[in-house]
Structures are given as structure tokens and as C-alpha cells.
């Protein structure tokens, strides 16, 4: 593998967006990248940032910075065998108990503590505690394989995005409108907070405040990588960018009034706005800033803008359609629990595409991500400064 110069290499960032079970696609893209590198290739990304499920993938990659192959193998070992009960309680006692607590607190007004969530994600905490080796992040920083690692969570009380980052050298914390950077040692609570999807999973108490999913009101998903020193950014998204809406929605006849949206359809649109819209808007804004920076340079003016190279890899197929094919893979109790919302019907597959933590669905996303990465192998190697090796089967 032909690494770029040290200065350039240390300014390359990987951004992994949020998206629940859709994040299996990111693992597939990394698996494709692994096929393009030598067996002993280290992690090529000195700056890694992630949000929600993307934060979990980001830290999994950062804990194996010495070997990209080992990192991908460890991620595949989890994602390829995923079941919903690895993430949340799916048994009837667990579902009913959580629904009872939620109803008593939020509908009847009785005191129930932290019961603002419909689902109990304590299995996810146990899974991460078993598999994550947070001390290895510091080892990678000390060895110079990493420059900085960041995860984002939303502070409900301060109503702002908080980018928790760990770095070897001191990086000045930043403060912008409704977003701040906080240097710290990353741990399990940061991951659980970043992945706490509002209403579905409970918020996490951290640093004397309550935190939830980092994608909530995240105005500038690219900003932490830039604050941490990146001048080249690879973004792995989790949405089919050429679509203009839910692809699984049946078209109504011209003389018929379409049925009102189900709760699952509404939830799917809300999750799209949380996980996807801000990232796409931020990418468009960065393109405009790059245009201004290039023209300012031609005119010899110093505007303070700097060009940031960006490459985006996103699904070539709509993930809601894939989720609809696998909706029966949900555990029976969870399927019945979600039935009333419409999530188990084709029209509710947008919401399902975020919650379907089942191996059948995740493996299809992994394979899609691998194919998409290999389809752009030349562009990917050129952007990362890698010497391409023969891709294996």
C-alpha cells in the first residue's frame, strides 16, 4: 500500500453517519476497501468521526487502527450475525414491561423515572461492553496511527450537539451556534448516548446532563472532522441519494384519495430528517464553499476559506425496499408490537429500515456496500492515496 505523505495522511477523515441498522452498509463499504488493500494495511483514516450507529462503527474501527483487516473482521463478526435481541428486548415480558412503564409515566402522569423510551436497549449496552476495547483508542493515538476520534450526542437540556473527541495532542475545543466540541476520553456512555434514538431508546445521563442520538438537530455533520484538522473527507452515507422520497410508497390512482400516512410512515420521515437531511445539506454547503475558495484563490484574495476534498459513497439501491423484503425476519413479539404502527407493512418500510437488526437484512446491506465500494475502486484508491491490489472474491 502506498501511503500519502505524512502531513496529508494525517488530515484524511472518515465520516460515518447515523441510521440504525442501515449502518450495516458502512461495514460493507469498509469490507470493500479491505479487498483493495494489502493484508497488513493499517487503518488509513487518522481522523474518524461518527454519529449514532455510525459512532459505534467509528469506534470499532478506531480500536483496531493497526490493521484494517482486523477491524473489518471484528465488525463483520457482529453485524453479519445480528439479531434484534442483541440491540433491544424483543421478548414479550420485556416489551410489555417497557410499554407498561412508558404508558404509566407519559399517559397517566405517574412517576416512573427514565421511561421516555418505547424500547429497552440494555442488550446493546451489554454487547458493546463485551466487544469494545476503548483503551485501544489511546494506544492508536500514542502510536500515531490516529490523530483524533469523535462521536456526536445531543444535549437535551442545553439543546445543542456535543462532539466528544479524543486526541493525542491538545486540540482547542470549539463553540458554534448549538454545537460544541469537548475533548475527553471516549467510553461506553458516549456510544450509548450517541445511539439513543429519540422516543425509541432511553436518553443517557452523562456529564450532569441527559443526552440522546447525535443526529438530532445536527446542523453540521461535517464540522467535527474539519475542526479536528481534516482537509480531505470520505463520507459513507446510508441513503439512496438519487431517490426523491420513499420508494416503497404505492402510487394512488388518479381518481382515488390516498390513505392517510401511518405512524410508521410518519416515523420514517422523521428519521430521514434526523439522520439524512442535515448531512446532504452540509455536503451541498461545502461544495459551495469549495467553489468560493477556488475562485478566491484565482483572484489572489485571502478570504480565509480552504478547499476540502470530499468523496461520498452511498447506497446504489433504496434501503427501504430491501427492508420490505426482510420484514418477516423480525421476532414475532416485536413484529406484533410494531404492527399497529404499520411498520410491518410495505408502506412502513422506511421506519423498518432503521430498526431491522436482523442478519438477513444486515448481510444484504453489507454486500451492497461492498459492491458499491468495489464499483468505485479506482476513485476510492486515488482519493485515499492507496495502491490498489487485486480484489479478492
The residues carrying an active-site annotation are: 52, 213
- 348-367 per-residue burial string, b: 16 or more CB within 10 A, e: under 16: bbbbbbbbbbbbebbbbbbe
In a 13 Å sphere around the CA of 384, the CA atoms on its Cβ side amount to: 29
CA-to-CA distance for 173 and 182, rounded, in angstroms? 6
Q: Give the containing element (helix H, strand E) for 47.
A: strand 47-51
In a 13 Å sphere around the CA of 24, the CA atoms on its Cβ side amount to: 29
**Grid coordinates standing for 210?**
441527559
**Grid coordinates standing for 172?**
482547542
Q: Are 52 and 97 in contact (CB under 8 A)?
A: no
Residue matched to cell numbers 461495514? 27
Q: Are 281 and 223 in contact (CB under 8 A)?
A: no
288 exposure class (CB count in 10 Å sphere: 0-12, 13-18, 19+): exposed
Amino acid at each position: 500500500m502506498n501511503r500519502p505523505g505524512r502531513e496529508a495522511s494525517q488530515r484524511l477523515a472518515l465520516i460515518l453517519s447515523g441510521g440504525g441498522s442501515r449502518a450495516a452498509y458502512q461495514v460493507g463499504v469498509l469490507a470493500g476497501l479491505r479487498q483493495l488493500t494489502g493484508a497488513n494495511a493499517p487503518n488509513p483514516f487518522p481522523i474518524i468521526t461518527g454519529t449514532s450507529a455510525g459512532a459505534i462503527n467509528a469506534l470499532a474501527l478506531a480500536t483496531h487502527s493497526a490493521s484494517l483487516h482486523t477491524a473489518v473482521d471484528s465488525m463483520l463478526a457482529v453485524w453479519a450475525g445480528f439479531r434484534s435481541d442483541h440491540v433491544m428486548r424483543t421478548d414479550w415480558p420485556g416489551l410489555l414491561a417497557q410499554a407498561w412503564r412508558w404508558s404509566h409515566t407519559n399517559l397517566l402522569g405517574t412517576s416512573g423515572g427514565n421511561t421516555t423510551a418505547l424500547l429497552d436497549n440494555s442488550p446493546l449496552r451489554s454487547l458493546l461492553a463485551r466487544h469494545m476495547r476503548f483503551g485501544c483508542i489511546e494506544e492508536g493515538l500514542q502510536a500515531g496511527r490516529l490523530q483524533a476520534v469523535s462521536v456526536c450526542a445531543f444535549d437535551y437540556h442545553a439543546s445543542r450537539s456535543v462532539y466528544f473527541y479524543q486526541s493525542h495532542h491538545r486540540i482547542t475545543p470549539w463553540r458554534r451556534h448549538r454545537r460544541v466540541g469537548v475533548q475527553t476520553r471516549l467510553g461506553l456512555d458516549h456510544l450509548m448516548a450517541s445511539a439513543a434514538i429519540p422516543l425509541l431508546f432511553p436518553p443517557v445521563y452523562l456529564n450532569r446532563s441527559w443526552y440522546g442520538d447525535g443526529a438530532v438537530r445536527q446542523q453540521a455533520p461535517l464540522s467535527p472532522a474539519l475542526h479536528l484538522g481534516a482537509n480531505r473527507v470520505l463520507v459513507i452515507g446510508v441513503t439512496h441519494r438519487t431517490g426523491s422520497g420513499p420508494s416503497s410508497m404505492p402510487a394512488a390512482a388518479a381518481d382515488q384519495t390516498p390513505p392517510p400516512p401511518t405512524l410508521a410512515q410518519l416515523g420514517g420521515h422523521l428519521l430521514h430528517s434526523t439522520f439524512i437531511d442535515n448531512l446532504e445539506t452540509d455536503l451541498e454547503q461545502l461544495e459551495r464553499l469549495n467553489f468560493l475558495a477556488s475562485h478566491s484563490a484565482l483572484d489572489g484574495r485571502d478570504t480565509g476559506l480552504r478547499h476540502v476534498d470530499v468523496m461520498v459513497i452511498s447506497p446504489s439501491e433504496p434501503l427501504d425496499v430491501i427492508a420490505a423484503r426482510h420484514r418477516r425476519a423480525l421476532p414475532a413479539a416485536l413484529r406484533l408490537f410494531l404492527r399497529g404502527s404499520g411498520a410491518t407493512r410495505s408502506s412502513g418500510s422506511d421506519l423498518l429500515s432503521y430498526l431491522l437488526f436482523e442478519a438477513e437484512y444486515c448481510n444484504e446491506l453489507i454486500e451492497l456496500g461492498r459492491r458499491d465500494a468495489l464499483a468505485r475502486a479506482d476513485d476510492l484508491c486515488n482519493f485515499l492515496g492507496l495502491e490498489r491490489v487485486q480484489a479478492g472474491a
